[in-house]
Amino acid sequence: MHTDSSFTFVLFGGTGDLSMRKILPALFEAHRAGGMLADSGKIVAVARHVADRGEYLQWVDGHVKPHVSKNGLDEAAWTSFLARIEFVKIDLGNPDDFALLRDAIQQMPGIRVFYLATGPSLFVPICRALAAVGLNQNSRIVLEKPLGYDLKSSNAINDAVGEIFAEEQIYRIDHYLGKEPVQNLLALRFGNALFEPLWRREWVESIQITIAEELGVEARGDFYDNTGALRDMVQNHLLQLLSIVAMEPPHSMDSDSVRDEKLRVLRALKPIDPQEIGKVAVRGQYHSGVIRGNAVPAYATEHGVKPDSSTETFVALKVEIENWRWAGVPFFLRTGKRLADRVAEIVVNFRAVPHSALGASALRAGANRLVIRLQPNETIRLYCLAKQPGEGMNLASVYLDLAFDRFFREGQMEAYQRLLLDVINGRLALFVRRDEQEAAWRWVEPILNEWQASTKPPKPYAAGTWGPAAASAMLAQHGTCWLEEEN
């Protein structure tokens, strides 16, 4: 990913949590690697609560530095990174202030990248203010989630932004698509003859995709109580991962070829009948419990949350894809807060052998499976059965560990680092196209509408568990169970 492309990276929300924890650390890692960022590239932070560049650099040194020093900090690299950073004080609510930004960056070379690490309510005003001072030309705009509250509001934002920036200028970011194991999933499927013949209904029994968090809503109670897990995680992260897992082989890895295949998956999702939602969708809300020995409060008592809130903090879904490759194969999606562990993984359960001369253990569900772990540790493991040492033919589960760090000396690239470099270099394949986003919202909306109209509260689950029992019961009906506590 070495590049000579000059750039001006303008970061709106320059003192926000996302900038502090993810964006600026990712840019520093690219800078420290050498050659990934052109020497002439500049980072321009935009905020209103900081007086000038000197004060902003002090903020970066105090708040961002701790997030990059965990891997050891090269002070010379840090000093040279700070030299890239400029600062412009702007009140985003005052369009006249954008002339200050235009004047500050008009002599800076290269492509302009505007990263909107702000709330979605500011996306359209910022884009209109940029256009008013002529900054929408020769530029790219990066939009963080959530992009809207439902299909209507998402379309309204996309329509307004689309009047100012062409689709090929718009980068809708989903950081899960930048994770190394997701990239390796594509490599395993489309770079080898071993897996692709098995990647279909004849050989796959079911697929699970889980994104579980130990954390609660933290300081985001107001936001989360108006959002919920379905909007926050399913509509974007989980459906994007599903589309990567289930897509047909693209004819190339260019941006539209990859996204065309993802779109076909999203459009092939079996529509949810409102009368059947109770059978294929489980929503839950955490109550008080214990996580790693510490007592944690119930969701309804979190700061900013309404005491009688019916917002879901857990979602489990059974999803079907109506096409020749996947007809009849259930995809189980799960996400939640205050669960037993922090984990994100994809589990491909292959079918058992049709007849076993080795005993019943060879016929058990999940004996053959591929586990793609996205977090906290990034691994890919292929599980199969082998004979235990000793007398008799006793089978035990073993795995092949695809330990990429043993083969490649280079450290794995963080998701945001990869995606930011893709923006600078104009690569759109790992970003969400508008028609993908619309297809995802369209599929999710019947569930949203049914839950909003329902008088039934979310199913309770104790913090520190794996969610409501109904989520496990849904899988039990298909003769399988969630993979949990995988080492």
Catalytic residue numbers, as ranges: 237
DSSP string of 419-461, one letter each residue: HHHHHHTT--TTSB-HHHHHHHHHHHHHHHHHHHH--SPPEEE
| Cis amide bond preceding 376, omega within 30 | yes
Closest-CA residue to 183 (of 374, 331, 27): 374
Contact 219, 360 (CB under 8 A): no
SS3 273: coil
- Rounded distance between C-alpha atoms, residue 422 and residue 1, angstroms: 9
Strand partners, 294: 291
Longest Cα–Cα distance in the chain: 82
CA distances from 32 to 14, 26, 37, 383, 485 (A): 20, 10, 9, 37, 36
Contact 136, 164 (CB under 8 A): yes
- Rounded distance between C-alpha atoms, residue 27 and residue 20, angstroms: 11
Tokens at 253, concatenated: 């890895």
Closest-CA residue to 170 (of 130, 227, 230, 224): 130
